[in-house]
Amino acid sequence: MKQDYDIIIIGAGPAGLSAAIYAARYKLNVVIISKDLGGYIATAHKVCNYPSYPEISGAELIQRFVKHVESLGVKIIYEEVIKMENNNKTFTISTIQNSYSSKKVIFAGGTTKVNLNIPGEKKFLGRGVSYCTTCDAAFFKNKTVAVIGGSDSALTSALLLANYASKVYIIYRKEKFQKAEPHWIHLLKQEKKIESIFNEEVISIIGDKKVESIKLKSGKIMKVDGIFIEAGFVPDINYISALKINMDENGYIITNKDQKTNVKGLYAAGDITDSTLKQVVTAAAQGAIAANSVYKELEEERK
C-alpha cells in the first residue's frame, strides 16, 4: 500500500487537472492517477471556445493545464486504475502496478470512444481505420477518406482532414447534423473538399492488407483509403461498478451541485457525470467545485 492522501484524483483531463489546482491551493495532500494525459480533448485539432484562447490545439491547452498543476507540486502518476474499493472511510485505488489509499476521491475518468462493431473495423485498425484524426490525418495526404459521425468531433475531424486529403466524406445516420455547433456546420459547408452524406450508415469495411472501400446500409460501395470513427462516447466506469454509484440510464454518474455522488467521500467531475453540456470549460468548473467540496468536508471532519 502506497502513501495515504487526502484526495486521489482519477483522470488527467480538464476536470481532474482543475481539481488538482484547487486542491493544491487548499494545501491538501493530493495526487492524480491516470493512464494517459488530457483525455479526449488532448487529441482535438482546435479548441475555439475556452475563454482567453480564440483558438488553441487541445494538446497545447492540456500542456498549459499540466504546467499549472506541476507548478503547485502535484504529482501525476501514469498508471491504469483497475479497481476502486471503499472500506472503513478509506478508499483504496488499485492500478496494475500499485495500490494507493485516500480519504476522498474525485473521479474524473472521462469517456471512451464508441466502436462501430462492424466487420473490418478491428482488422484494419492502424491500416486505414483510425479513432484519432489529430494523430493520423497527415498520413492521408491526397487520399480519399470518410468520417463517421455528426458531432462536433466528427465535423472538426473532417475539417482537419480537408487540409490533407483530396476528398472527405462525412457520413451521418440522421437527416442533418443535430449535435454539432452551428459554427462548425458553417465551416463544413464552406469547405469544397467535404461532402456530407446523411441517412446512411457504414456496415462493413473492405480491403486486403489495408482499407480499400466501405459498404453502406443502402448497399452502395464507396472507395476510400481511410475511415475515421467519431461515433460518440461512452462513460469509462468498468472498475467502479462495485461501489454501487447512482447513474443515469446511459451510465453517467449522477452528482449534486457540489459534485457529490451517493457514495460518501466520492465526487465526480467532467464528462463522466450526467451534466448536459460536456465542454472543457464545464469540466474544469466541475473539477474546481469538487475540490472545494472535498476541502469543506475534510475541514468539517477535522473539527
**Are the CB atoms for 198 and 175 separated by under 8 Å?**
yes
| Domain definitions of the chain by residue range | 4-113+233-302, 129-229
If pLDDT is split at 50, 70 and 90, which confidence band does 237 have?
confident
Is 129-229 in the same CATH topology as 4-113+233-302? yes
**Are the CB atoms for 23 and 7 separated by under 8 Å?**
yes
If pLDDT is split at 50, 70 and 90, which confidence band does 303 have?
confident
Give the whole-angstrom CA distance, residue 250 versus residue 235.
8
Residue 3 has pLDDT above 70, yes or no: no
If pLDDT is split at 50, 70 and 90, which confidence band does 87 have?
confident
Give the whole-angstrom CA distance, residue 303 versus residue 137.
56
Task: Identify the pLDDT of residue 232.
Answer: 86
Task: Identify the pLDDT of residue 125.
Answer: 93
Q: Which comes out higher in pLDDT, residue 19 or 55?
A: 19
If pLDDT is split at 50, 70 and 90, which confidence band does 1 have?
low
Percentages (nearest 5) of helix, strand, coil residues in the chain: 30, 30, 40
Radius of gyration, CA atoms only, the chain: 21
Task: Identify the pLDDT of residue 236.
Answer: 80
Cell of 287: 473539477
Q: Which comes out higher in pLDDT, residue 63 or 276?
A: 63
Pairing of strands 194-198, 167-172: parallel
Task: Identify the pLDDT of residue 178.
Answer: 87
Task: Identify the pLDDT of residue 210.
Answer: 95
Average pLDDT over residues 86-99: 90
Question: Nearest to residue 149, comparing CAs of 121, 120, 180?
Answer: 180
What count of residues does the chain have? 303
Rounded to the nearest integer, the mean pLDDT of the chain is 94
Residue 129 has pLDDT above 70, yes or no: yes
Task: Identify the pLDDT of residue 2.
Answer: 66
- CATH top-level class of 129-229: alpha beta
**Of the ranges 134-138, 155-159, 207-211, which one carries the lowest mean pLDDT score?**
134-138
State whether CATH 3.30.499.10 applies to domain 4-113+233-302: no
Task: Identify the pLDDT of residue 44.
Answer: 84
Which secondary-structure segment (H or E) carries 116? Answer: none
Helical ranges in 55-148 per DSSP H: 58-71, 133-136
